[in-house]
Structure 1
Amino acid sequence: MPLGPARVAPSGSLSDVLIGRRAELALLRAVIGSPPSLALIEGEAGIGKSRLVGELFATPGLAGIRRLVGQCEQLQEPLPLSPLLDAFRLAGDELARSRPPNPVVGVLAPLLPELAEHLPPPLPALPDQRAERHRVFRAAVALLDHLGPLVLVLEDVHWADGGTHDFLAFLAAHQPKNVSVILTVRTEVGLLPIREAFARAPSGPARTVSLTPLSLPEVEELAQSILRAELPRTFAAPLYEKTGGIPFVVEEVLRTLLEQLPASEIPGRPDVLAELAVPTVLRDVVRQRLSSLDDPAQEIIGAAAVIGMTPDDHVLAEVTGSGAAGIAKALAQAQAVGLLHEEDGRCRFRHALARQIVYESVPVSGRRLLHLRTAQALESGAAPRPVARLAHHYRQAGRTAEFVGHAEAAADTAFSHGNDATAARFLLQALELGELSREVRVRLAVKLGRAAVDGLAHTEAVPILERLLATEPLPTHLRGELRFALGRLLRQQGETRAGHLQIESAIEDLADRPALLGRALAVLSAPETVVDRHVSEHAARCDQAEEAARRSGDRDVGIAVRIARASLLLEQGDPGSWRLIDELLRDDGLRAAPREHARACLNWAQGALHIGRLERAEALLAEGRQVVDQAEYLRLAEIVELVTAAVDHAAGRWEGLADRARRLEGTGAKVGAASLDRRLLQATLLTATGPAEEATARLGDVIAIAERVGSVWPLIPALMTLSRLLLTLDDAAGAASYATAALAHVRSKGNWVWGAETVLCLVDALDALGEAGEAAELVEELNLGIAGADAPIAQAALLSARAVLARSRDSLEADRLLDAALATLRAAGLRYEEALAAERLGRWRCERSAADGGPLLEGALRLYGGMGADRDIARICRVMRQNGVPIPYPWRGGRPSHGQTLSSREREVALLAAEGRTNQEIATELFLSRRTVESHISSALRKLGLLSRKELSTLLGSDP
């Protein structure tokens, strides 16, 4: 085939042309051509991510663009922003020539001593570590802005530490207008925590460049560009099969063959590929490269693989005992055969896979000795000591005491930088060892308890703390601290009762530690957590927490207790809660603690939703989201999205909400305690939009789990929602049963604000059973329970319940009460509850005259229609037909294209549902997705005016 002129290939590559990837390269050009912009290049190891970046900057017109490149290492020290700082070190010449940067950049001077002379003077350290961390982030962004226009490239972000991930999230939210960011990441390492922040960047969602293996024609083209010869399909096909289309593996295979045969002969020798087994092809390639080196060079390269991806020459010399000349010769040989390549003036393994294979080629006993020598060489080097790498090498060397010491030091360093996840990881590794002394094990476990709550190492940490508490005679104060930590971990896993009991058991042990005692009591004062604890008990705990906070003199503990007090009052609808919340939101102490600030706002937003104060919930959510973004607190991102979905549900903004709820439920949640709230949200949506049977099953799951773990919220609303659903299905007895069960928990908790809608459900059920008179005492009990409460949902429910009772004796009074309930809900902006109240009032007025009730029914229908509440639409249309109220377009007959007649596919699905088939069975039989089946059933029920798929069996027996 005709071949163009060769050009210089990227370092370490055999091919001087980029095969395929034209669309991906064009997308990257567009990204960096329109800053501020973000791009993620993702793909498996060896797929060509770094090659694509290199090709981007080799493009004519882009070769001169300023770029900073940082490399994330697999063994990154727990120091803030190490890869970014490495990138900044490349900008020394530019900083020397430019005007002085923003003074805040001086914060980076101690972290970049090589550039300190070109940076503003260092700033005094802030006492709050999190505030200091936030200032470092601001400084890094300011320096990027100063150096712009530029492209920041961070390679192998899957290996980045938590602090770097958090900075990238911060950068996405505060990206300078002349900076583009490109990250490379492996797809096989799981979900990156920065994806959420990159999806919500103000400059627009990050563009994802997904690299997949080359196709057979592309593998053929790549081989031809390397061999400079035509490639018959008899060779290309087995080459593709052996390499899986991974460009790196293709090149390594051909590199091996080029050492055995002239390039012109290789295409005619497909037999040489047969000797390379598919699962071990890359291993064979690298081992052949390694075996071509002389013995001293093999030993030195083996040691280099133990040291890391980019071995330091001085460490390598100390570990191997070789002189500088021997090291240089070995590295040159390895570079010549493609095991290493030069990057930024240093020899580096060409690929992580290559380093891993060389590492595994060293005998186990030899590896242990090399790890020990590496650790000793690193320990004797200049300060600061790389404690993470030391811990790794001592661990691999089997030196337990040294490993534990450095792992603890690494955890302390990570913890001091606010990187709790990294701290928890080191502590867990140390605690895995069985030969620790009791003193060391207790000390590490206490630190783990502190780190694991925010470090999200819940699953691993819980059994360690449980075992320690069960087997070790601990000092009282340490036992209390561990019990408190274990209780918090259990609560975050969703084990509400178990966590509450653990924290209760810690109280006595914490008597002499008032700061921790105050925090533990503040947690116990939260009413929305555990069943069988009356609000008076929560209030007593809050009083005790205030006393402990005063004894401690700790301002942060005082703020935590005030947050708890505000939450306790808010959940009861106490109007005084808003004064306390507003005071706290203006408090500099809360603003100086962004994690507490964010948590408080989100908790209060949820509390505001519980009582029906939607406008306050939206404001608190907005502030909470802003704090989470500014404080780079990614671990609250899923809570932000959950509360956002709940606010949208309350406001009637349901478009796309079902998909969002489904995604929320499908995410492997980091905070298990949020799982029940996600499940309740999806189940509640289904009661209005989906098949009743599925909604019933999902609500039953929520109830069963909540009862098992002892979580009062969402147990009460789940029981109430199921009761309300059964009322729409004319199962008054079942509705009464679930409402009664919910009221038992309301009385046990003593918070009638939470029970008002349940009372209304029970009154409705008793009314349907002809027993409404028995509900008068219950309604009066509710009236007394919510007297003076600032709780629109509860007040409207009370008015509606009174209206039901008044209806038989004074229809005008009932009308007035229900009209007041409707006005309350409308003013609160609670659109679904408003629609339910309007439907009820419309039905009642239609008993006098369709002219009186029709406008209300039509208004309710439009509200349901705007939310896509298909089940409610079907019900209210049936009511309107029964009362002679005209049904407006487009609800007159379902979809305009089919009128009241089912489409052929809808009828096919409905018939199978009528036979008792499940949605999954229907989906399998008709080759549809389950979601499509759900949509067809909902549409069929709406068109036919049915409330449940059970009714399909009677109505689908007729001719179409």
Structure 2
Amino acid sequence: MANAVRSSAGHTSHHTTVRTTSPVLVGRTAELNTLLDYATDSPSAIFVEGEAGVGKTRIVHELIEHSRLAGKRFLTAHCQPMREPFPYGVLLDALRAAGNRITPVTELSPVTGVLRSYLPELAGILPPAPEQLHDTRAERHRLFRAVRELLDAFGHTVLIVEDLHWADEDSRDLLRFLLAELPSHFTLLVTYRREEVAGGMPLGPACRSSASDKTATVVVGPLDVSGVQRLTAAILGDCFVSPDFAARLHERTAGIPFVLEETLRALRDPAGAVRTDGVRARRLLEEAEVPALLREAALERLSRLSDSARRTTQTAAVLGIPASTRLLGDMTAFSAEHVRAALTEAIEAGILFECGRARYGFRHALARQAVYWTLPGPDRERLHARAATELARAVPQPLVRLAEHSRYAGAHEDWLYYAEAASDQAGEVGDAATATSSLQALLDEADLAPSDVGRLAGKLSRVAYTGLNQHEVTAALERLLSDSRLPASVRGEVRLALGLLLSRQSGGLESGRTAITNAIDELTGRPQLWVKAMSVLAQPYIGAVALGEHRAWMGEVDRAVEDEPDASFRLSMLANNAPAQLMIGEPSAWRAIERLPTSTDTSHEQRDLARAHCNIADSCSWVGHFETARGYLNSGIRLANDCGAPFIVSTARATRAHLDWVTGHWHGLAERAATLHEEYRDLLPVASELSLIMGCLAVATGQWQRAERHLRDTGMDEPNNAYAPVVVNAYAATLRMLSAQREHDRAAEIADIGIRLVRRKEAWVWAAELVPGAVAAQLRVGRVAAAERVAETFDTAVAGLDAPAARAARPMCRGLLAARCGDERAGRLLEEARDRAVNLPAPYFAALAAERLCRWRVERARTDRDRTAESADGCADPAAFGALAEEFDALGATHDAARCRYALREHGVTQSSRRGRRGYGEQLSPREEEVCRFVRDGNTNREIARVMFLSTRTVEQHVANVLRKLKLGSREQLRHRSPDHRRV
């Protein structure tokens, strides 16, 4: 029975200095495995179906090179689009080419002698020619038998026939004959384009294989967006490809690998282009020249069309989107019957496609563009003007398309009207990308009057920071500030928007803050914008500016809006100021939050309400109101999705990841954070927070190199241009890493640097993780007085603040100091720290506190040799480390779990598994999975042993088991293997 496999990946693409195809096969695992399974289980027949350029040949090449088929002989035939092909020519060529390389494994049947006249090159192995028959049909049958006998004698053979849709009918008949009874050790593999064979059946409806033979149809489809992204990265040497660029590239190429390759080849700087997003990504692709091969193909296909079919096709190219028969008829002035005939001709020629019910267009944007540029300029202008006239009658009007057609028709006033209307409409529904692209295109127009520039610049400033497109809009605002046409009354608004955008970009916080400060002087005549600028400067997380300065701005905003009659503006400022106060632990913040409305009247107000909820959730996640944060986050995301606010959603997704980290929901978190980081890498507040999460997770699993890389990406080296809570917690994670590596002197140095930042910023409220780590680091190197000063300053600074995480850290600091001094109160204080962390809830930090408590009790019991009542509950029993190891394992903190198990072994305690030992067969065990991950990161056996608290010999055994189970020959092969290797 035929086995159908559908897919979505394939080949690759490039540019001048870049390779032309991918060095690895991307996204074809299922298809390749099917080919391998059938090719190794002969007799079998495989039909590989897919449109032109989709990557059929590439997957066949992978099959030929695969080690599972090392003992097979391959015969390859390539059909060509010839007007009068030679009968059997392509198949005989394949046999002829193999003649000098193949020796029959069995004696040839006498019937194969008939091939002497067809294949004189094989005369050395063929028997004498039999007596000629005088019946054409009998001769033909004997020829077919001879070919089958020869293939059977060749033994384990795969015959590959590429592009079967171009084969002559005689060759098809021969293949049908073979398929009816395949040779015993033979595999037939054919590739074809379904759209170019009658009825989509490459060998016709009457073709049947033997019931005992295995037949598969593998459908090779275009790439999806993810496949385009991964394939492009592989072609360009594993460089970063922005999700937005990948989406634009997919839209332009329809995910067809050959078209993708040609598109990348046409870009001037593909490695740089693929990092862009938004309007710039679209513009780079649209401005890229249509590849010569695609232009030639378009011209060749157009030349075969009748005049009416050609005009209809060119009209469809000008329209730019799938069009109805009626619209094409109105545009060309053809009758409905005439248009249908023209469309049928263009579809049969493979240049137009049915793109949905009763809509016709091109397979991909490049095909459309190739046809578009076959039109002379005056004809293009005429058709654009006609399109604008026809589309203007629609209700509602397609404003973006009307703007585009008016622009290319040279109708300047119409373009201005429609583009501005399209921007207004997009801004209202939260489509910031469309709004900004329309306004940018207009503002780049040299003929705009100053009044138009001022109006449009104001609109761009108001919509610029609501979307995800950062760098392109930033550049547009910078150009506006140097544009002499920009009225002075709008300059402050433009500068404020520029400052907001710069504040979201790596390295731009300081310059953004400067721009906003300068904008305040230019906004004195616009009170609401003036207050808005102050509310941005009030945000406490920006850079290393002391919280006292932020508090002063918060007070200015509160006073300015206290009697503000505009409810919408009050909501907007409340969404800024109340979360800012909450983030620094001001108890009064909750009174301000209570003033938030439960519903709104406009989409603009709903966006502000969504922003307020998400900002509150973010602030709660930093000070320790974790459960409250979860509630506000859910409502904020719901509101943001309802009104279309992509930037708010992006920050909320980072907040959710942060909450999952602190509350112990780690399953799949590292992968989710990495995906989000790739998507939002250009948004500093989002990317830096995600880097912190990935770094913290890497510390908990002992992946030191990865942890250090992610933590550095938070902005630790340049705190003036970073988000302060992120950097403070990055120092805390770095302390945990250095302590785990026993680099105590270095840990004390980092503690000093982190604490100095906290002192300068006055940011003790965010130092709940850092201060206990700093105290511990200083105590380890004997700096008791310094540790006491830090703990005392922290204790004083957070007293009276609404900061549950800081409150949980206070007894930890005092407990560490008490334990160092031999104070009996240490146990009670450490127990209190554990319980407060449990109640937050912060299970990872609760487990760390419990481990400190356990170590203190065990050491105290060992020192005293007198187990008091405190030991009666087993808390001083080293076996408690076993329960802690299971807690850490449940979270995913494998390094911490290994440390606890090592403590068990140190104290001579053996632990039996509660679940019993299970066998993993050929699957990797959890321990082997962990070793595998460390090897992939480039760690040596000695380094792995140190992290996992194992002997080097034990690690060597685990590595050998991993390589054996994954059927790999070396560590290097493992490093380049996909991370998903649990199933083998």
Aligned residue for 2:540? 527
Cα separation, 2, equivalents of 1:737 and 1:904: 31
Select between 734-743 and 703-712 the one with higher mean Cα deviation: 703-712
1:602 alignment partner, one of 614, 618, 621? 614
1:800 and 2:812 aligned: yes
Change (3 A) 1:241 1:905: farther
Report the equivalent of 2:669: 657
Preserved contact between residue 775 and residue 813 of structure 2 (Cα < 8 Å)? yes
Pairing partner for 1:879 from 885, 895, 903: 903
Per the alignment, residue 506 of structure 1 pairs with 519
> In 2 relative to 1, CA 803–329 (structure 1 residues): closer, same or farther, beyond 3 Å?
closer
Q: Look up the match of 1:332.
A: 341
The answer on 1:913 being equivalent to 2:940 is: yes
CA contact (8 A) 1:422 1:455 kept: no
Aligned residue runs from structure 1 range 849-888, under 5 A:
849=861, 851=871, 852-854=875-877, 856-887=880-911
Spell out, residue by residue over 1:649-698, the C-alpha distance to the aligned partner (whole angstroms, 9 max, x if none).
21222222222233233335574420000111000111111322332333
Q: Partner residue of 2:852?
A: 840
Structure 1, residues 616-641: CA drift from partner, whole Å, max 9, x if none? 22222333344345445555444443
Alignment-derived partner of residue 250 in structure 1: 196
Q: Distance in 2 between matches of 1:545 and 1:447?
A: 24
Alpha carbons of structure 1 residues 295 and 885: separation in structure 2 relative to 1, 3 Å: closer
Amino acid across the alignment from 2:520:
I
- 1:535 touches 1:750 (CA, 8 Å); kept in 2? yes
Distance in 1, Cα, partners of 2:406 & 2:390: 12
Match of 2:123 in 1: none
Residue equivalent to 2:707: 695
Name the CA distance, whole Å, in 2 between partners of 1:590 and 1:770: 61
Corresponding residue of 1:730: 742
Deviation at 1:468, TM superposition (A): 1.8
More helix as a share of residues: 1
* Structure 1 position 462, deviation (Å): 0.5
**Cα deviations by residue, 1:78-125 (Å, 9 ceiling, x for unpaired):** xxxxxxxxxxxxxxxxxxxxxxxxxxxxxxxxxxxxxxxxxxxxxxxx
Following superposition, the deviation at residue 734 of structure 1 comes to: 1.5
CA contact (8 A) 2:464 2:473 kept: yes
8 Å contact from structure 1 (residues 727, 735) kept in 2 = yes
Letter in 2 for 1:696: E
1:905-944 map, 5 Å = 909=935, 913=940, 926-930=971-975
One-letter amino acid matched to 1:517:
W
Which residue of 2 is the match for residue 117 of structure 1?
A: none
Q: Which amino acid aligns with 2:609?
A: H
Tell me how far 1:44 sits from its aligned partner. 11
Note closer, same or farther for the CA distance 1:343–1:479 as it changes in structure 2 (3 Å cut).
Answer: closer
CA contact (8 A) 2:430 2:644 kept: no
User: Which residue number corresponds to residue 458 of structure 1?
Assistant: 470
1:490 and 1:498 in contact (8 A); partners too: yes
Structure 1 position 812, deviation (Å):
0.9
Q: 1:545 is paired with a residue of what secondary structure?
A: helix
Q: 1:899 to 1:20 in 2, by over 3 A?
A: closer
Distance 1:291 1:716, change over 3 A: same
Looking at structure 2, the residues matched to 448 and 405 of structure 1 have their Cα atoms a distance apart, in angstroms, of 16
Alignment partners' CA distance in 2, 1:383 and 1:933: 51
Identical positions, percent = 28
- Could you tell me which residue of structure 1 aligns to residue 163 of structure 2? 239
C-alpha distance in structure 2 between counterparts of 1:612 and 1:450, whole Å: 34
Match of 1:409 in 2: 421
1:824 alignment counterpart: 836
- The one-letter amino acid of 2:971's match is L
Q: Deviations over 1:421-443 (max 9, x none)?
A: 21112122223444544443343
User: Does structure 2 retain, via aligned residues, the 8 Å contact 1:340–1:347?
Assistant: no
Letter in 1 for 2:851: E
CA-CA distance at 1:20 after TM superposition: 8.9
Q: Residue 598 of structure 1: SS of its match in structure 2?
A: helix
The TM-score, its normalising length taken from structure 2, stands at 0.62
In the alignment, does 2:779 pair up with 1:770? no
Q: Deviations over 1:755-791 (max 9, x none)?
A: 3432322221221111212333332221210112232
Preserved CA contact (<8 Å) 1:909 1:933:
no
Tell me what 1:15 maps to. none
| 1:430 counterpart = 2:442 | yes
2:622 touches 2:725 (CA, 8 Å); kept in 1? no
C-alpha distance after superposition, 1:455-490 (max 9, x if no partner)? 333221101111221343754441111111112222
**Equivalence for 1:517:** 530
Change (3 A) 1:656 1:475: same
The whole-number CA distance in structure 2 between the counterparts of 1:687 and 1:237 is 54
Task: Give the deviation of 1:23 after TM superposition.
Answer: 6.3
Q: Kindly tell me: are residues 363 and 759 of structure 1, through their superposed partners in 2, closer, same or farther at Cα, counting changes over 3 Å?
A: same
- Distance change >3 Å, CA 886–CA 563, structure 1 → 2: farther
Q: 2:739 & 2:434 partners in 1: Cα distance?
A: 51
Deviation at 1:288, TM superposition (A): 5.5
**What's 1:201 paired with?**
none
Structure 2 matches for 1:308-457, cutoff 5 A?
308-309=320-321, 329=338, 332-336=341-345, 338=347, 348-349=360-361, 355-375=368-388, 386-398=398-410, 400=412, 402-457=414-469
Look up the equivalent residue of 1:499 and give its one-letter code.
Answer: G
* 1:148-201 residue CA offsets vs partner (Å, 9 max, x unmatched): xxxxxxxxxxxxxxxxxxxxxxxxxxxxxxxxxxxxxxx99xxxxxxxxxxxxx
Change (3 A) 1:330 1:645: closer
- Which letter does structure 1 place at the counterpart of 2:657? A
- CA offsets 1:334-362 (integer angstroms, 9 cap, x no match): 53454678999978447567654443322
Q: Give the letter aligned to residue 726 of structure 2.
A: P
How far apart are residue 420 of structure 1 and its match? 2.4
- Structure 1 pair 385–698 and aligned structure 2 pair: CA distance change class (3 A): closer
Amino acid in the other structure paired with 2:462 = R
8 Å CA contact 1:706–1:712 kept in 2: the answer is no
Task: State whether structure 2 residue 624 is matched by structure 1 residue 612.
Answer: yes
Say if 1:793 and 1:328 are closer, same or farther in 2 by CA, change over 3 A: same
Query: 2:827 matched to which residue of 1?
Result: 815
- Give the whole-Å Cα distance in 2 for the aligned partners of 1:694 and 1:468: 42
d(CA) in 2 for partners of 1:341, 1:659: 39
Whole-Å separation in 2 of the counterparts to 1:311 and 1:590: 35
The code of the aligned residue for 2:795 comes to N
Q: What residue is the counterpart of 2:756 in the other structure?
A: 744
CA contact (8 A) 2:714 2:722 kept: no
Give the whole-Å Cα distance in 2 for the aligned partners of 1:414 and 1:420.
7
SS class of match (1:493): coil
Aligned amino acid, residue 876 of structure 2: G
> Is the CA contact 2:819–2:856 (under 8 Å) kept in the aligned structure 1?
no
Separation in structure 2 between the aligned mates of residue 935 and residue 373 of structure 1, nearest angstrom: 55
Q: Which residue of 2 aligns with 1:676?
A: 688
Within 2, Cα distance between the matches of 1:647 and 1:794?
Answer: 16
In the alignment, is the contact (CA less than 8 A) between 1:517 and 1:548 conserved in 2? no
CA distance in 1 between partners of 2:346 and 2:816 (Å): 87
Alignment deviations for residues 565-604 of structure 1 (CA, whole Å, 9 cap, x no partner): 3212322223333444345364767999432233222222
Question: Given the superposition, is the C-alpha separation of residues 675 and 891 from structure 1 closer, same or farther in structure 2, using an over 3 Å criterion?
Answer: farther
Deviates more, 1:395-404 or 1:518-527: 395-404
- In structure 2, the residue matched to 1:644 is 656
Quickly say closer, same or farther: Cα 1:653–1:930, change in 2 above 3 A: farther
Change (3 A) 1:847 1:524: same
Cα distance change of structure 1 residues 643 and 421 upon mapping to structure 2, 3 Å threshold: same
Gaps of 5+ in 1: 1-18, 25-40, 46-186, 189-209, 256-277, 937-960
Instruction: Classify the secondary structure of the residue corresponding to 1:849.
Output: helix
Q: Tell me the matched-pair count.
A: 708
Deviates further, 850-859 or 537-546? 850-859
Larger Rg: 2
